[in-house]
C-alpha cells in the first residue's frame, strides 16, 4: 500500500534531502509524489532539458526505501514560454488570464500543447527505465481555479470543428439548437460563437444568457478539451513505459466530466482537504467526495494529496486536532482509498503557499502531526490486508452526472435550487442511516435502491437501463426537475416528468418554484422552500400531500409499482429530518437495514467486517460490538474522540 508525502526536492537545499528522506522512512513512508509545477527547473530554456536534480533526489529517496510518483509539470508554464507564445486562456470578456500563478494555459492552444508534449516526451524518455519511478501523474488538477472554460480563438475554432463532427450539417445544428429564436442562426460551422459575455449579461453573471444548447455543448466541449489534452500526455508516456498513469482529481469539482477524464487513466488519485481556509466540510460531504472518486472508474483510488496541517493561502483553516489526521486517512481508506500521500512533507518558507502547512512546520522539527502520521503508517502495515483490493457492501447508488450538473447550473429553475446540493442531501440521508452508498452511473442491478435526483438531461440509453432495472425488481427514487431535457438541453413537449412519467405513474400538472413555504403531511412531515410539483397520480399512490396553500390536498410524494419493482417520486425539497425518514422508509421497503447511530459515528460494512469512525471531538458509543482487528481485544462500542475501529 502506498504511504507517503508530496516532496518537492527543488524547494530545498540538496544537503537537506537526506534528513528529509530519513524522517520519511522513519514515518513508515514508501512513496513520494513530485515535480508537478517543476517545468521551469526541468526546462529552464526552450528545448534545454535538465533532469539531474530529480535523478539525484529519486535515487536518494530510493536508497531510503521510498519510490516516486512523477508528475508532468504542465500545470506550471514557465515565463520564457509565455514570453514567446501566447498560450493564455481568455475569460468571458476576452481578457487574457494573468500569468503569475498556475494553470493559465489553454488546452486547445497549439503552442501550449506542443510545448507540453515536448516536456512530457523528454521526461518520459529520460525516466522510462528508472525502476524507482513507479507511476506517473499527468499535469495537476485539471479544472482547478475555474480554468476549464476558455474563450480564446483557438477554443472557438476547435469548438466549431468538434460541433461539425457531432452535427454533420449546419442546418442540423441550427434545428437541434433552435437558433431560429432571436435570429441566432449560423450560416456555417466557422460562424459559431463561444458563449462569451453578451448584451444580455449583467456583470459577473454565470453562463445563462445564451442559447442553452450552445451553453451545454460548450461545457461538454471544454471538459472534453482537457480529457483530450490529458490523453495526449498519456499516449506519449505509454510509448516509453508501462508504469501506470494517473491524474489528481478534485472530488466534488463540477467542471470536468470525471467519468470521461478517468477512462484513459490506469487509476484515479484525488486531493482531499477536509478543513482549509475556505471552510470545514461535514464528514458526510467528505465521504461522498471519496465515493465520487471511487465511482468514476468503479475502482479503488489513491489520495494524492491528503491534508496534513493548517491549510490556506492568505489565511488558514483549523489545525487538525489530535486523532484527526489518522481519522481522515481511514475515512479515505474506508471509502475505497488504497494509498495515502500527504500534502506536503514540510511547509515552505517562500512562495504563494507559505501557509499551506505540511507534516512538518517551517522549522522542520517532528512534532504531534508527524508522530500521528508515523503511528498510522505502522498501524496500516497490519491493516493493509483489510484495505487493498477490498470493496464495501453497497446497498444504494446515487447517480451523479456531469451534463446534469452543467444543465442545472445554466438553467437553475429557482434561485435557491442547486443540483449538487440536492444530490448530496440524498447521500447525506443515507450516510446518516449508515447505508453504504456508491456514487456513480450505470450498473444499477448491483443496488437495492437507485437515486436519480433531478435527473433532467436524459440519456435515452440510461432511461432504458433504469426501466429494465425497475422491471426486474429494483427500487428507483427520482425527484422534481427530472426527465424534461434532452441531451441538447431542450425541453420535451410531453407532460412532466416526461421521460420518467410512465415509470413514476404520475403526471405533474403544475409546479411552483417557491416564494412561500409549503407544508407537507403524510408518511413524513416537512416543509418545502424551493420547489413543489403538483402531482396527479395515474397508476401511483400518494405517500404525502401538501397541506396548505392553493394546492393543499394534492400529492407531493408518490410510489408506483412497475414490473417487479417500485418507483418513488419526490415532488418537492424536504427538511433534513424528513428526508432522512423518507430514505429510511424507502430503504426498509427495499430490504435494506438502516443502522441508527449518534451523529458523527460512521459505520462502513465491508465483506465480513465493519469499519467504525467517530468524527466527533468527544467519546461516543457505536451500536456495534465484536473484536477489534487493530488490537485483537473485545470491543464494546466505546469510541474515542476521532477514533477508528476495524471490528469483526
Residues 252-271 touching ligand GAL, rule: CB under 6 A, are 271
Q: Which of 7, 159, 356, 646 binds ligand GAL (CB under 6 A)?
A: 356
- Residue placing its CB nearer to ligand GAL in the complex, 218 or 356: 356
Tell me how far, at minimum, the Cβ of 325 lies from ligand GAL, in Å.
16
Tell me how far, at minimum, the Cβ of 140 lies from ligand GAL, in Å.
5
Tell me how far, at minimum, the Cβ of 273 lies from ligand GAL, in Å.
7
Tell me how far, at minimum, the Cβ of 253 lies from ligand GAL, in Å.
10
Binding mask 546-565 for ligand GAL (x = CB under 6 A): --------------------
User: Is 217 assigned a catalytic role?
Assistant: no
Q: Count CA within 13 A, CB hemisphere, residue 69.
A: 32
- Residue placing its CB nearer to ligand GAL in the complex, 369 or 428: 369
Binding mask 24-43 for ligand GAL (x = CB under 6 A): ------------x-------
Contact flag: residue 306 with ligand GAL (CB under 6 A)? no
Bridge partners of 627, per DSSP, are 634
Give the total of residues touching ligand GAL (CB under 6 A).
9
Catalytic residue among 97, 291, 305, 338: 305
Catalytic residue among 43, 97, 104, 141: 141
Of 367, 366, 340, 344, the residue nearest 355 (C-alpha): 344
Q: Which of 305, 462, 573, 620 binds ligand GAL (CB under 6 A)?
A: 305
Q: Which of 122, 134, 144, 630 binds ligand GAL (CB under 6 A)?
A: 144
- Residue placing its CB nearer to ligand GAL in the complex, 69 or 438: 69
Specify the pairing of strand 634-635 against strand 626-627: antiparallel
- Residue placing its CB nearer to ligand GAL in the complex, 75 or 106: 75
Distances (CA, A) of 410 to 11, 177, 215, 405: 42, 15, 7, 9
Contact flag: residue 353 with ligand GAL (CB under 6 A)? yes
Scanning 85-93, 140-148, 357-365, 535-543 for contacts with ligand GAL by CB under 6 A, the matching segment is 140-148
- Residue placing its CB nearer to ligand GAL in the complex, 116 or 478: 116
- Residue placing its CB nearer to ligand GAL in the complex, 78 or 483: 78
Q: How far apart are CA 511 and CA 496, in angstroms?
A: 10
Scanning 139-147, 364-372, 556-564, 610-618 for contacts with ligand GAL by CB under 6 A, the matching segment is 139-147
- Residue placing its CB nearer to ligand GAL in the complex, 77 or 497: 77
DSSP 8-class letter at 346: B
C-alpha grid cell, residue 459: 440519456
Please say whether the beta carbons of 533 and 464 come within 8 A: no
Tell me how far, at minimum, the Cβ of 101 lies from ligand GAL, in Å.
10
Q: Which of 140, 436, 484, 587 binds ligand GAL (CB under 6 A)?
A: 140
- Residue placing its CB nearer to ligand GAL in the complex, 285 or 609: 285
What is the chain's Cα-based Rg?
Answer: 26
Distances (CA, A) of 387 to 24, 438, 475, 500, 574: 22, 17, 30, 39, 36
* Neighbour count for residue 475 (Cβ, 10 Å): 23
Determine the Cα angle at 28 with ends 22 and 29, to 5°. Answer: 75
Tell me how far, at minimum, the Cβ of 341 lies from ligand GAL, in Å.
11
- Residue placing its CB nearer to ligand GAL in the complex, 5 or 435: 5
Contact flag: residue 141 with ligand GAL (CB under 6 A)? yes
Tell me how far, at minimum, the Cβ of 142 lies from ligand GAL, in Å.
11
Contact flag: residue 507 with ligand GAL (CB under 6 A)? no
Contact flag: residue 201 with ligand GAL (CB under 6 A)? no
Residues 114-133 touching ligand GAL, rule: CB under 6 A, are none
Please say whether the beta carbons of 543 and 560 come within 8 A: no
Q: How far apart are CA 470 and CA 29, in angstroms?
A: 47
Q: How far apart are CA 316 and CA 310, in angstroms?
A: 6
Distances (CA, A) of 523 to 544, 546, 610: 6, 12, 32
Phi, psi angle pair for 525, to nearest 5°: -105, 135
C-alpha grid cell, residue 420: 449538487
Residues 565-584 touching ligand GAL, rule: CB under 6 A, are none
Phi, psi angle pair for 470, to nearest 5°: -70, -45
98-107: burial string, b at 16+ Cβ within 10 Å, e else: ebeebbbbbb
User: Is 121 assigned a catalytic role?
Assistant: no
Distances (CA, A) of 169 to 152, 160, 163: 24, 12, 9
3-state DSSP assignment of residue 520:
strand
Please say whether the beta carbons of 558 and 547 come within 8 A: no
Q: How far apart are CA 620 and CA 602, in angstroms?
A: 11
| Residues tagged active-site | 141, 305
Site residues (vs ligand GAL, CB under 6 A): 36, 140-141, 144, 271, 305, 343, 353, 356
Amino acid at each position: 500500500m502506498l504511504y507517503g508525502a508530496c516532496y518537492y526536492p527543488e524547494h530545498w537545499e540538496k544537503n537537506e534531502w537526506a534528513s528529509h528522506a530519513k524522517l520519511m522512512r522513519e514515518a513508515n513512508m514508501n512513496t513520494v509524489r513530485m515535480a508537478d509545477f517543476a517545468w521551469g527547473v526541468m526546462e529552464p530554456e526552450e528545448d534545454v532539458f535538465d533532469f539531474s536534480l530529480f535523478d539525484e533526489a529519486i535515487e536518494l529517496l530510493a536508497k531510503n526505501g521510498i519510490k516516486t510518483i512523477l508528475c508532468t509539470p504542465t500545470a506550471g508554464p514557465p515565463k520564457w514560454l509565455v514570453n514567446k507564445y501566447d498560450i493564455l486562456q481568455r475569460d468571458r470578456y476576452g481578457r487574457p488570464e494573468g500569468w503569475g500563478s498556475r494553470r493559465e494555459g489553454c488546452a486547445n492552444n497549439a503552442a501550449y500543447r506542443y510545448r507540453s508534449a515536448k516536456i512530457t516526451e523528454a521526461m518520459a524518455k529520460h525516466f522510462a527505465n528508472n525502476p524507482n519511478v513507479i507511476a506517473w501523474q499527468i499535469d495537476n488538477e485539471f479544472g482547478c481555479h475555474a480554468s476549464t472554460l476558455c474563450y480564446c480563438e483557438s477554443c472557438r475554432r476547435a469548438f466549431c470543428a468538434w460541433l461539425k463532427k457531432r452535427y454533420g450539417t449546419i442546418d442540423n445544428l441550427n434545428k437541434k439548437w433552435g437558433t431560429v429564436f432571436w435570429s441566432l442562426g449560423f450560416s456555417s460551422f466557422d460562424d459559431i460563437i463561444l458563449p462569451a459575455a453578451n448584451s444580455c449579461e449583467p456583470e459577473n453573471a454565470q453562463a445563462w444568457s445564451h442559447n442553452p444548447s450552445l451553453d451545454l455543448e460548450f461545457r461538454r466541449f471544454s471538459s472534453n478539451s482537457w480529457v483530450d489534452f490529458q490523453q495526449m500526455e498519456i499516449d506519449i508516456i505509454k510509448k516509453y513505459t508501462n508504469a501506470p498513469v494517473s491524474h489528481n482529481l478534485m472530488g466534488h469539482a463540477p467542471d470536468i466530466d470525471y467519468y470521461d477524464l478517468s477512462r484513459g487513466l490506469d487509476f484515479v488519485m484525488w486531493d482531499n482537504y477536509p478543513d482549509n481556509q475556505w471552510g470545514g466540510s461535514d464528514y458526510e460531504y467528505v465521504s461522498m467526495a471519496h465515493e465520487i472518486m471511487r465511482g468514476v472508474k468503479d475502482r479503488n483510488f489513491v489520495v494524492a494529496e491528503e491534508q496534513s496541517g493548517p491549510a490556506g493561502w492568505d489565511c488558514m483553516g483549523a489545525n487538525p486536532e489530535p486523532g484527526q489526521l489518522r481519522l481522515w486517512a481511514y475515512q479515505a481508506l474506508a471509502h475505497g482509498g488504497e494509498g495515502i500521500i500527504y500534502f506536503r512533507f514540510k511547509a515552505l518558507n517562500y512562495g504563494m503557499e507559505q501557509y499551506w502547512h505540511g507534516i512538518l512546520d517551517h522549522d522542520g522539527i517532528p512534532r504531534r502531526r508527524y508522530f500521528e502520521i508515523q503511528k498510522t503508517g505502522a498501524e496500516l502495515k497490519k491493516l493493509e490486508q483489510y484495505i487493498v483490493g477490498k470493496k464495501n457492501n453497497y446497498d444504494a447508488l446515487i447517480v451523479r452526472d456531469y451534463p446534469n450538473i452543467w444543465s442545472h447550473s445554466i438553467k437553475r429553475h429557482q434561485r435557491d435550487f442547486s443540483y449538487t446540493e440536492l444530490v448530496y442531501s440524498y447521500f447525506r440521508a443515507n450516510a446518516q442511516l449508515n447505508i453504504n452508498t456508491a456514487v456513480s452511473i450505470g450498473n444499477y442491478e448491483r443496488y437495492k435502491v437507485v437515486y436519480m435526483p433531478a435527473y433532467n438531461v436524459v440519456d435515452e440509453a440510461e432511461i432504458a437501463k433504469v426501466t429494465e432495472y425497475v422491471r426486474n425488481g429494483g427500487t428507483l427514487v427520482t425527484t422534481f426537475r427530472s426527465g424534461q431535457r434532452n441531451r441538447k438541453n431542450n425541453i420535451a413537449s410531453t407532460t412532466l416528468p416526461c421521460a420518467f412519467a410512465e415509470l413514476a405513474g404520475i403526471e405533474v400538472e403544475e409546479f411552483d418554484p417557491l416564494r412561500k413555504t409549503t407544508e407537507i403531511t403524510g408518511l413524513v412531515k416537512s416543509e418545502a422552500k424551493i420547489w413543489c410539483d403538483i402531482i396527479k397520480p395515474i397508476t401511483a399512490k400518494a405517500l404525502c400531500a401538501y397541506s396548505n396553500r392553493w394546492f393543499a390536498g394534492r400529492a407531493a410524494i408518490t410510489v408506483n409499482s412497475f414490473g417487479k419493482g417500485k418507483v418513488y417520486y419526490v415532488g418537492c425539497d424536504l427538511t433534513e429530518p424528513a428526508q432522512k425518514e423518507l430514505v429510511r422508509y424507502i430503504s426498509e421497503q427495499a430490504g435494506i437495514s438502516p443502522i441508527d447511530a449518534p451523529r458523527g459515528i460512521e459505520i462502513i460494512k465491508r465483506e465480513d467486517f465493519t469499519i467504525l469512525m467517530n468524527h466527533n471531538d468527544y467519546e461516543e458509543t457505536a451500536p456495534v460490538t465484536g473484536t477489534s482487528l487493530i488490537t485483537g481485544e473485545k470491543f464494546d462500542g466505546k469510541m474515542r474522540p476521532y477514533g477508528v475501529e476495524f471490528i469483526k
